[in-house]
Amino acid sequence: MKKFDGYKAGVNLGGWISQFRQAKKEHFDSFITEEDIKQIASWGMDHVRLPIDYMVLEDDDKPFEYKEEGFSYIDQCISWCEKYKLNIILDLHRAPGYAFHSLNENKLFDDQFLQERYIRLWQAFAKRYINYGNNVVFELLNEIVEPNSDRWNKLSRQAIEGIRQIDKERLIIIGGNNYNSVDTLYELDKMEDNNLIYTFHFYQPHIFTHQKASWEELLKDLEFEVTYPSDQKLYEAYLAKSEEFKRRYSYAKKTDKDYLRSLLQPALNFAKERNVTLYCGEYGVIDHAPMESNLKWHEDLSDLLIEYGIGRAVWTYKLMSFPLVNKDSIVRNNKLIEIVSRK
């Protein structure tokens, strides 16, 4: 297996060419610049994860016709990363017919033509970046949500085979079902490919990391502040919530570092059983959470991931409700930067 070095501490570039409010050149040219990449490198980080929405690269009414302007943003980011000695993960955050945040509209797993577009897009990546080494890694698709993993196993295998027709050794990242849950990694098929990395996302406990999130119906009007670590009093407030709330958001009498360790265990077991490398592609805390708790959660999780040798990329660099910096790229909290940059 090619080594997955240089991916110990990184940051996501969410909101740039993925999950953008408006697909305007002005936004693409200004949201992330060379100075941002320089700043990330100055923190001591070793990589970035670049979320990419397919619409930047291909229009639905012109399938298989790839937009050079869209790819130029990826090329530029790779070039900046090379200059400042950062590695980069190219994460397909949204694919033709699939978006993790719009599940009712998803058709990818039902439509063979959309699947062909998805595979061919990855082959376009493979051809374009064939001459790059371990400094460029592919991530197949962000946060699958399916009734089970059967259809994702089939499609991911086809995508990997499509990439391997062109690039035999590219490091490829694959995640499990249910938003890259640690609990679904074991559902992934075993594949005879030594250059696969297995990813999970970690936002637990969700009631803490996403408190008062405007897009979460049951959390947006949460009437109490969730702190970390927490105690019995906070747990009692949680127990007073509705059955639907408790079914959707698990919580413990005591949430602390040991609790986080227990939640990571399924991923650790999976990696040991299959002798594979793990990567935490997203983790973070919403800006509504109290800063003291935010820092402590990041400190504890970073400690654990470093202890287990798991690389990580915090969500996210700028804005998007989970910011390290503001709209002008000014650091929000220096202590937070210090914690998420540790290796």
Amino acid at 85: K
Query: By 3-state DSSP, what share of the chain in percent is helix, strand and coil, each rounded to 5?
Result: 40, 15, 45
What distance in Å separates the CA atoms of residue 109 and residue 51, rounded to the nearest whole number? 21
Which of 82, 143, 146, 217 is the catalytic position? 143
Rounded CA-CA distance 17/218 in Å is 29
DSSP of 253-267 = SS-SHHHHHHHHHHH
Phi, psi of 312 (to 5 degrees): -155, 155
> Taken in order 304, 13, 164, 63, is the CA torsion positive or negative?
positive
- For 325-334, the CB contacts below 8 A with 24+ separation are 325/36, 325/39, 329/35, 329/36, 329/39, 332/287, 333/291, 333/294, 333/295
Single-letter amino acid code for the residue at 231: D
Residue with tokens 């039902």: 110
Asked about 338 being catalytic, the answer comes back as no
Q: Is 34 a catalytic residue?
A: no
Q: Could you tell me the end-to-end alpha-carbon distance of the chain, in angstroms, rounded to an integer?
A: 22
**Which of the following is catalytic: 282, 292, 299, 338?**
282
Instruction: Report, as residue numbers or ranges, the catalytic residues.
Output: 143, 282
